[in-house]
């Protein structure tokens, strides 16, 4: 296994955990982002994985975002390439992904969180994009936030650079759950157990169907997902096992293929 300096990587019972470990603020410098890219490449090759969780070490901050020092003219091209490499990987990642916000997510940290399929946060965490206060804007948030939040609120956040509380973010659909800080780890694990008990291939094909149908007219989307369902999913051992186990009134034994 590759040795990481700023990222912790682990696999346990179908869960890949990628943790940013640059206390106290888990700032994303170029070296850390290169490690995140590599960690996602490793996770994509984990044959038994069912879910990838990205989190941060510490109690107050998931990530304060990309290092300001890497925004300077001599580094900004490399910074954007490496940072957007993470987001591009997440956009095409075959397995479900979840951001577990142990604390506040700001700037690039917030963009990293909303690029995951799901996100949970500890009570009291703040989310936002303060880039405008530095005279720049967040490219990923400009694309992804309007897909979830009302446009006037997106305008307020991106043009004003303010932060919102986890509860407010939950109300806008940026988060799936908000858990008490004292039980965050246990509650997060309980939340993800529902996915870890399922078939790996079913999870992958379901995510693919959602992604490929997105933005298409209904009948085009329907044709797309029908082809995935009939020609690919139904050819898997787990599709047969799932149906058989239901009819035989027993718990399915997934082969994950």
* Domain ranges within the chain, ordered by starting residue: 7-196, 200-247
Letter string b/e over residues 96-122, b meaning 16 or more CB atoms within 10 A of that residue's CB: bbbbbbbbbbbbbbbbbbbbbbbbbbb
Looking at residue 106, the DSSP 8-state letter turns out to be E
CA 168 to CA 162: how far, in whole Å? Answer: 13
Task: Judge contact between 160 and 132, C-beta under 8 A.
Answer: yes
CATH 1.10.12 for domain 200-247? yes
CA 96 to CA 252: how far, in whole Å? Answer: 21
Can you give the pLDDT at residue 71? 87
Instruction: List the one residue out of 62, 80, 82, 61 whose CA is nearest residue 71.
Output: 80
Can you give the pLDDT at residue 2? 65
Can you give the pLDDT at residue 59? 83
Cα 178 to chain centroid distance, Å, stands at 16
Report the CATH number of the 7-196 domain: 3.90.226.10
Instruction: List the one residue out of 131, 125, 130 whose CA is nearest residue 100.
Output: 125
Q: What is the residue-level pLDDT of the chain in tens, covering all 257 positions? A: 468 999 999 999 999 999 999 999 999 999 999 999 999 999 999 999 999 999 999 989 999 999 999 988 999 999 999 999 999 999 999 999 999 999 999 999 999 999 999 999 999 999 999 999 999 999 999 999 999 999 999 999 999 999 999 999 999 999 999 999 999 999 999 999 999 999 999 999 999 999 999 999 999 999 999 999 999 999 999 999 999 999 999 999 999 88
């Amino acid at each position: 296994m590759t040795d990481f300096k700023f990222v912790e990587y682990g696999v346990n019972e179908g869960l890949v955990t990628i943790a940013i470990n640059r206390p106290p603020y888990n700032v994303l410098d170029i070296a850390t982002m290169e490690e995140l890219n590599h960690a996602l490449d490793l996770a994509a090759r984990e044959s038994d994985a069912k879910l990838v969780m990205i989190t941060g070490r510490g109690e107050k901050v998931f990530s304060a975002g990309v290092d300001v020092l890497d925004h300077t003219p001599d580094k900004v091209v490399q910074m954007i390439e490496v940072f957007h490499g993470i987001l591009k990987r997440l956009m095409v990642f075959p397995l479900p992904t979840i951001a577990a916000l142990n604390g506040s997510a700001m700037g690039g940290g917030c963009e990293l969180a909303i690029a995951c399929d799901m996100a949970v946060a500890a009570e009291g965490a703040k989310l936002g994009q303060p880039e405008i206060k530095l005279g720049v804007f967040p490219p990923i948030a400009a694309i992804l936030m309007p897909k979830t939040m009302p446009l006037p609120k997106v305008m307020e956040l991106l043009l004003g650079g303010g932060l919102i509380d986890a509860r407010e973010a939950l109300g806008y659909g940026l988060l799936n759950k908000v858990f008490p800080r004292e039980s965050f780890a246990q509650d997060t694990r309980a939340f993800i157990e529902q996915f870890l008990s399922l078939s790996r291939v079913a999870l992958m094909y379901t995510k693919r169907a959602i992604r490929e149908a997105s933005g298409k007219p209904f009948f085009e989307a329907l044709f797309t997902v029908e082809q995935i369902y009939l020609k690919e999913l139904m050819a898997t051992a787990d599709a047969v096992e799932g149906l058989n186990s239901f009819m035989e009134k027993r718990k399915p034994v997934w082969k994950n293929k």
